[in-house]
Amino acid sequence: MIKKNSIKFFETLLKTSSPSGYEEEAAAAFRDYLGNFCDNVKTDVMGNTVGVLNEGAEMKVMLAGHYDEIGFQVVHISEDGFIYFRPNGGIDKLNVPSSEVMILNEHGKVPGVIGKKPIHLLSPKERDKAPELDDMWIDIGVESKAEAEKLVCIGDPVANRVNVQFMGKNRIVSKGMDDKVGAFIVAETMRELSKRQLNVAVYGVGTVQEEVGLRGATTSSFGINPDVGFAIDVGFATDVPDVPKKKLGDIALGNGPELTRSADNNVVLGRFMRKLAKQKKLTYQESAAHRASGGTDTAKIQLTRTGVATALISIPNRYMHSQVEMCDLRDIEGAIKILTETIAALKGNESFIPGID
């Protein structure tokens, strides 16, 4: 399985607080780790971090996993010192009440809890519907607006509290698994590739602001101008009750990473990757993706400049966009192996033009 030092880094990354647009903490952890084995590492003005191997090679390969996470943002402080907020990314309001959070600012991290009216005080009509975010607040334990303003400013980002834990033999649960698991796989693939003789230049990127519009992938891929791009993200596990396999496929934790087929996945690159996986006897699951049009950072990388041959590898994830996202270490390890073998096998002169491979 994945080495102890790597797991330690994974835990460190998961314990960072990095709501979209405020990824400094995750970028620092990612940058420090890549510095142990990449030829050079830098973080750009957006907050994307790029580690490079074999930079002088003609063919460029990009790996991307976003390390931003969903969260909130402070918009108002009441006279009683309660903090009102708005979503930053795709928030499921059913998961929000009673959450423990951290408000982030230049002074540090301010702990808080998200409150709402108790069930005893709700009218029958209110009980029958999900509470709106406008009907919730963050309580930081103060007694007045003046006291709150010494700790919190309008616009401060808010992250869910750190909660990493291992469950069973192979499962790991955390907020922000989407998509720090992808950033971890990028880093570990770069570490494995640093031991190989490469024919291509490899750029391992931790991207920002994926949850609010795929922004980091847009700028980083433009700067790198890759020939081949792999995005690593999470996908929907369907091995839980009431998730329709007939719409989303049969995807289970522990059965390997998902290799996706959709409009933003290059068919030639997909065949190349699957052939290598079969030759090396590496397990994977086939996925038609959530939408036929695709999505994730893959979409932005594909459309960079004159176009890029792209592929998405997804890690099955239970309870996506919640504080308790669950993934399996076997799927993570499988993704690292498939990416490592695929990139190491590139000679640097491949054509990924559909129909003439």
pLDDT tens readout for residues 205-247: 999 999 999 999 999 999 999 999 999 999 999 999 999 999 9
Residue 307 domain boundaries = 4-69+175-345
Distance CA 19, CA 38 (A): 26
Same domain flag for 221 and 323: yes
Within-domain flag for 167: no
* Position 1 pLDDT exceeds 70: no
Mean pLDDT over each residue of the chain, to the nearest integer = 95
Same domain flag for 65 and 75: no
Within-domain flag for 355: no
Mean pLDDT of 265-287: 96
Mean pLDDT of 148-156: 97
Same domain flag for 108 and 195: no
Same domain flag for 86 and 54: no
Within-domain flag for 356: no
Same domain flag for 138 and 282: no
Q: Domain total for the chain? A: 2
The catalytic residues are: 210
Same domain flag for 211 and 251: yes
pLDDT tens readout for residues 340-354: 999 999 999 999 999
Q: Which two tokens stand for residue 262?
A: 């959709």
Same domain flag for 251 and 299: yes
CATH number (domain holding residue 96):
2.40.30.40
pTM of the entire predicted model: 0.96
Same domain flag for 78 and 150: yes
Distance CA 296, CA 222 (A): 16
Residue with tokens 């971090």: 49
Same domain flag for 144 and 231: no
Same domain flag for 56 and 80: no
pLDDT tens readout for residues 127-142: 888 889 999 999 999 9
Within-domain flag for 256: yes
Within-domain flag for 165: no
Nearest-10 crossing angle of helices 177-193, 329-345: 40
pLDDT tens readout for residues 39-92: 999 999 999 999 999 999 999 999 999 999 999 999 999 999 999 999 999 999
Mean pLDDT of 16-36: 98
CATH number (domain holding residue 250):
3.40.630.10
Task: Decide: helix, strand or coil at residue 180.
Answer: helix
Within-domain flag for 166: no
Distance CA 254, CA 248 (A): 17
Q: Which pLDDT belongs to residue 12?
A: 98
Q: Which pLDDT belongs to residue 290?
A: 83
* Position 249 pLDDT exceeds 70: yes
* Position 336 pLDDT exceeds 80: yes
